[in-house]
Amino acid sequence: MKIDLLITNCVLLPVPGAETLIDPGFVAACGSHILQSGPMSECPTVEFGTVLDGQGQLAMPGLVNGHCHAPMTLFRGLADDLDLTTWLHGHIFPAEARTVCPEMVYWCSKLAAAEMLLSGTTTVADGYFLEDEVARACAETGLRCVAAQAVIDFPAPGAEDPRKNIEVAERFLARWQGRHPLISPAVFAHSPYACGNDTLLRAKALARRRNVPFFIHAAETRDEAGMIAEPLAPTPIGHLAHLGLLDRDTVCVHCVWADEQDLDLLAQSGAGVVTCPQSNAKLASGRAPLAAMLQRNLRVGLGADGAASNNSLDLFREMDFVAKAHKVQPNNAVAVPAARALQLATSGGAEVIGLSAGHGTLTAGSVADLILIDLAQPHLQPLHRSRLPVYSGCAADVRTVVVNGRVVIHNRRLLTIDLQETCAQVRRLAGQ
Amino acid sequence: MKIDLLITNCVLLPVPGAETLIDPGFVAACGSHILQSGPMSECPTVEFGTVLDGQGQLAMPGLVNGHCHAPMTLFRGLADDLDLTTWLHGHIFPAEARTVCPEMVYWCSKLAAAEMLLSGTTTVADGYFLEDEVARACAETGLRCVAAQAVIDFPAPGAEDPRKNIEVAERFLARWQGRHPLISPAVFAHSPYACGNDTLLRAKALARRRNVPFFIHAAETRDEAGMIAEPLAPTPIGHLAHLGLLDRDTVCVHCVWADEQDLDLLAQSGAGVVTCPQSNAKLASGRAPLAAMLQRNLRVGLGADGAASNNSLDLFREMDFVAKAHKVQPNNAVAVPAARALQLATSGGAEVIGLSAGHGTLTAGSVADLILIDLAQPHLQPLHRSRLPVYSGCAADVRTVVVNGRVVIHNRRLLTIDLQETCAQVRRLAGQ
């Protein structure tokens, strides 16, 4: 038995949501996958490659950012304290028109990938224009990425003629499908208000033909229903259902304004949801009915959205926020417990965005995507149940990050790219 | 002109709320106070003591935690996802009965003080039993503390006979008033439901006699009005007003269930409010009407509350949360803008808890309590308005902390106490 990576003597959280900790525990990986994990007493004594001492550290699955627009790091803090419509039309669309090009997408995605890895995220589901450059940046940085090429009915970077947007997406899928262990291509239809019915149908047909996930923003703002050109139902999610777009390979992002019937449609179809609570709050869009979603056993993941609307890609903050914000109005202390927040940000999100079974856990056979958290930090003392790092853990507690069996961060140092150069390139692109 | 501490070439945020940044700027301190700050072109060239190069760093006032129970770090993560009543009576009160003693208060406060300094807080308003030990721990660690001795009508540590609770508080004030540059003593009457009317009147009379701030939990939960033994008005704040307890030296903490009339009473009396949005959310108590408070120009500060209900003492998280959580239900992107959140957590809070004018700013004559934030962090790139570190900054970005003119943290190393020993003592007290 060959082991490439062995983590010993850690506090092990193998399955988020189960709250069972193994202390002391171990994780052994061979190649890209986990071979075995469990109590130290069962640790195999065989030939191995790298051994990391996990003493005083929590080993847990890497976090899964269920929705992001990685290149939008360029616009972080550009326009704050504005509602979505003003923010988007008054600031972001004009800034994108000025700046989006392959070089911008590449460098700003590289910064995003670095930021995500440094805050314990090992997988992102991204959607943007020129998504090739996002995929390339993530592959180089060592971040797993479900990279979804955007489809929109306006002239866009890389698809200046919107009549060719499906063709552009199809070529993207062909370039990336099965080509890189970290990259899974997908389709991202922007929204029911920025894509006509024909485009939505053709985009979903492409995703079905290629057997890839289909992402779409839906029901983000109260006004969205009124912005759909040829509505087939009173709500955006009803509209998508009427078009036959909801199935287990469709991911509806946001769903802030999903009503009871919409939740039924999502439940019946098996469509996934990604909630982005901080972005929805900051853009004053509202708060998704997450407690009701969880009661209906919808498939739900957690997303940071872009850095322009959050303004951070830190899923530790997102977990903390989602668990706390949903406990009020109405007041219910168990609406989203800590363990559930952790599950949304790991195995829950992984399942929604189409990753293989076991992803987001540290059990035999799952991919070796994991993080080590320094439990000696003063803000993590003492160690009661707070070893679930939802209410007190933070990004900077992440010491080591492993993606696909490869150590990409060790002692908080990113080993894969030149981070200083990346930051400098982004500042240059921002005119600084 | 003698300068003891000079910070050069920083990005300077002298007055939170004003959003004006001076780049490059300087701050010069003499003894415990700021002598001068401004653009580098005006930097004095005189004899000095310590010079810190602020290149690539944001110099801003240290954060002011307006409400805390420092010793409760012992209970961090002990009981999560519970409403306040179950949490308090089922878990916290029993745990306190087992564990609270001078040694526990001392070590757990020292941990809290370290955690606060490491996350950029330079002043805390604390309230607990055996508050001498909190004051001692903060003084040793180098954290400024408005230390309020708790008064409650039950047998409590240090005041086993509740008939002597005012006497205990009076002796506490006598011991600390004017004795230590970092410590300002005060009175903390627990709440209108845990203190009878006579106790409330006597506690406030003591605070008036000694000219110190008077803190009280008020209107934290919906049920609180019904828990007051001899109510003089329909609401807790009405009750306090009827007793004549509201004035500019009274600080009402929480005010989640303050109604319109209560807000009028607070405005008319000039009483201060400290809001603890994360604690209120996590305990499913509700959300304070902060937007309405700000519209009425109430004096408001921001607090983390204890680590048992948050579970962090990190005011960066608190600023982010307060600004985002108040933008929804109703949806209003400017309910609490970033600059306002920063002001609540600095000069706003400082004024509420009774500190001298100018506290919470970096202007000539104010105390030299300041922090340096590393702007080179990837999650802070690029630098648009996000240099206000509300939506993207985090505790670990704080590199250097100065309190009362003394450098207490340099390059994230706490210089004042043995942090490892403190953590070990707290783990021992937690039975770990």
Q: Residue B243: CA atoms inside 13 Å, Cβ hemisphere, count?
A: 23
Question: Per the domain annotation, does A209 fall within a domain?
Answer: yes
Alpha carbon distance B186, B353 (integer Å): 10
Regarding whether B42 and B162 lie in a shared domain, the answer is no
Please indicate if any CB of chain B lies within 8 Å of the CB of A95.
Answer: no
Q: Does B36 touch chain A (CB under 8 A)?
A: no
**Cβ distance of B80 and A337 shorter than 8 Å:** yes
Name which of B405, B395, B345 is nearest B373 in CA terms.
B395
User: DSSP letters along B115-141, please?
Assistant: HHHHTTEEEEEEEESSHHHHHHHHHHH
Does B267 lie in the same domain as B378?
Answer: no
Contacts of B86 in chain A (CB under 8 A): 333
Domain around A19? 3-62+358-414
Scanning B3-156, the segments in alpha helix (DSSP H) are 84-85, 93-99, 102-118, 131-141
Strand partners, A410: A413
Question: Could you give the ipTM of this predicted complex?
Answer: 0.97
Instruction: List pLDDT tens digits, range A214-228.
Output: 999 999 999 999 999
Give the rounded distance of the alpha carbon of A316 from its chain centre: 12
Question: Quick one: tokens of B363?
Answer: 């202007």
Of B324, B352, B380, which one is at a domain's C-terminal end? B352
Clarify whether residues A218 and A77 are in a common domain: yes
Query: Which amino acid, A247?
Result: D
pLDDT tens-digit map of A394-409: 999 999 999 999 999 9
CATH code of residue B54: 2.30.40.10
Q: Picking from A202-216, B5-19, B234-248, which range would have the lowest pLDDT averaged per residue?
A: B5-19
Q: Is B36 left (phi over 0), alpha (psi -120 to 50) or beta?
A: beta
How confident is the prediction for chain A on average, in pLDDT?
Answer: 96
pLDDT band at A267 (very low <50, low <70, confident <90, very high): very high
Q: How far is CA A345 from the centre of its chain?
A: 8
Backbone angles phi, psi at B279, to 5 degrees: -65, -45
Specify if A430 maps to a domain.
no
pLDDT of the residue at B17: 84
pLDDT at B19: 74
pLDDT digits (tens, 9 = 90+) for A161-178: 999 999 999 999 999 999
**B416 contacts on A by Cβ (under 8 Å):** none
Residues B302 and B397 in one domain: no
Asked if B394 is an interface residue toward chain A (Cβ–Cβ < 8 A), one would say yes
pLDDT tens for A131-154 read: 999 999 999 999 999 999 999 999
The residue among B331, B336, B423 with the most chain A CBs within 10 A of its CB, best to mutate, is B331
Determine the average pLDDT of the residues in A264-287: 98
Six token digits for residue B316: 């960066």
Q: Is residue B227 part of a domain?
A: yes
Other C-beta atoms lying within 10 Å of the C-beta of residue B112: 35
Cis peptide before B155 (omega within 30 of 0): no
8 Å CB contact between B228 and B193: yes
Touching check for B278 and chain A: CB below 8 Å? yes
Return the residue of B nearest to A81 by Cα. B333
Q: Tell whether B165 and B100 lie within a shared domain.
A: yes
Q: Is A392 on the interface with B (CB under 8 A)?
A: yes
| pLDDT of A386 | 59
Longest dimension (CA), chain A: 64
Nearest to B328 among A118, A286, A337 (CB): A286
Is the Cα torsion angle B388, B390, B393, B397 positive or negative in sign? positive
Q: Is residue A376 part of a domain?
A: yes
- B367 and B336, same domain (yes or no): no
- Do B324 and B382 lie in one domain? The reply is no
pLDDT tens by residue, B120-168: 999 999 999 999 999 999 999 999 999 999 999 999 999 999 999 999 9
Q: How high is the pLDDT of residue B23?
A: 94
Strand order in the sheet with B299-302: B63-68, B121-128, B144-151, B183-189, B214-218, B250-254, B272-275, B299-302
Q: B245 φ, ψ to 5°?
A: -95, -10
Alpha carbon A133 to chain centroid, angstroms: 17
| R_g over Cα of chain B | 21
Q: List, for residues A49-58, the tens digit of each pLDDT value.
A: 899 999 999 9
Burial of A246 (0-12, 13-18, 19+ CB in 10 A): buried
Evaluate whether residue B15 is within a structural domain: yes
**Closest residue in chain A to residue B386, using alpha carbons only:** A77
Q: What is the mean pLDDT of residues B380-388?
A: 78
The answer, yes or no, to whether the previous bond of B378 is cis (omega within 30 of 0) is no
pLDDT band at B323 (very low <50, low <70, confident <90, very high): very high
pLDDT at B13: 95
Question: Minimal Cα–Cα distance from B392 to chain A, Å?
Answer: 5
Asked if the Cβ–Cβ distance from A324 to B321 is below 8 Å, we say yes
In this structure, the answer to whether residues A89 and A145 fall within a common structural domain is yes
Interval B350-379 mean pLDDT: 96
- The average pLDDT across A340-367 equals 96
A271 located within any domain = yes
Q: CA-to-CA distance for B5 and A372, rounded, in angstroms? A: 39
Q: Percent of chain A at pLDDT above 90?
A: 94
- Where does A31-182 show beta strands of DSSP type E? 33-39, 48-53, 57-61, 63-68, 121-128, 144-151
Pick from A7, A19, A9, A87: which is nearest to A49 by CA? Answer: A7
Tell me which chain B residues have a C-beta less than 8 angstroms from the C-beta of A394. 312, 314, 317, 394-396
Query: Is A419 part of any domain?
Result: no
Structure tokens at B113: 């003080």
pLDDT, residue B47, reads 73
What end-to-end distance do the CA atoms of chain B give, in Å? 53
Asked if the structure places residue A426 within a domain, the reply is: no
A80 Cβ under 8 Å from any chain B Cβ: yes
Distance CA A380, CA B61 (A): 26
Confidence grade of residue B384 (pLDDT, cut at 50, 70, 90):
confident
CB-based contact, A398 to chain B, within 8 Å? no
pLDDT at A42 over 90: yes
Q: Which of A278, A381, A423 sits opposite B376 (nearest CB)?
A: A423
Q: Are residues A228 and A95 in the same domain?
A: yes
| CB contact (8 A) between residue B328 and residue A381 | no
Clarify whether residues B185 and B283 are in a common domain: yes
Tell me which H or E stretch contains B261: helix B260-269
Q: Which residue of A has its CA nearest to B119?
A: A379
Q: Determine contact, residues B92/B328, Cβ cutoff 8 Å.
A: no
Q: Which residues of A touch B109 (CB under 8 A)?
A: none
CB contacts under 8 A, A 150-179 vs B, are none
> Which tokens sit at A179?
């080509």
Residues of B within 8 A of A83 (CB-CB) are 331, 333
Q: Rounded CA gap, B58 and B41, in Å?
A: 17
pLDDT greater than 90 at residue A2: no
A137 interfaces chain B, CB cutoff of 8 Å: no
Number of domains in chain A: 2
Query: By percentage, how much of chain B surpasses pLDDT 70?
Result: 99
On whether both A338 and A410 belong to a single domain, the answer is no
Q: Which of residues 231-270 of A touch B (CB under 8 A)?
A: none
In a mutational test of the B interface, the residue from A75, A109, A118, A331 whose CB has the highest number of chain B CBs within 10 Å is A331
* Contact residues for B312 (Cβ-Cβ < 8 A; gap 6+): A320, A379, A391, A392, A394, B115, B278, B304
pLDDT of residue B385: 63
pLDDT of residue B1: 67
Pair B28, B115 in one domain: no
What is the nearest CA distance from A236 to chain B, expressed in angstroms? 20
Cα B247 from Cα B266, distance rounded (Å): 8
Does B412 lie at the interface with A, CB-CB under 8 angstroms?
no
Q: Do B331 and A383 touch (CB under 8 A)?
A: no
Q: By CB neighbour count within 10 A (0-12 exposed, 13-18 middle, 19+ buried), where does A422 fall?
A: buried
> What is the predicted pLDDT for the residue at A388?
81
Question: Which of A352, A368, A398 is where one domain is finished?
Answer: A352
Please check whether residue B386 touches A, CB under 8 A.
yes
Average pLDDT, chain B: 96
- Whole-number pLDDT of residue A247: 98
pLDDT tens per residue, range A167-207: 999 999 999 999 999 999 999 999 999 999 999 999 999 99
CATH number at residue A190: 3.20.20.140
pLDDT band at B48 (very low <50, low <70, confident <90, very high): confident
Q: Residue A282: its pLDDT value, please? A: 97
Helix (H) or strand (E) holding B12: strand B3-12
Q: Tell me the C-alpha distance between A313 and A117, whole Å.
A: 10
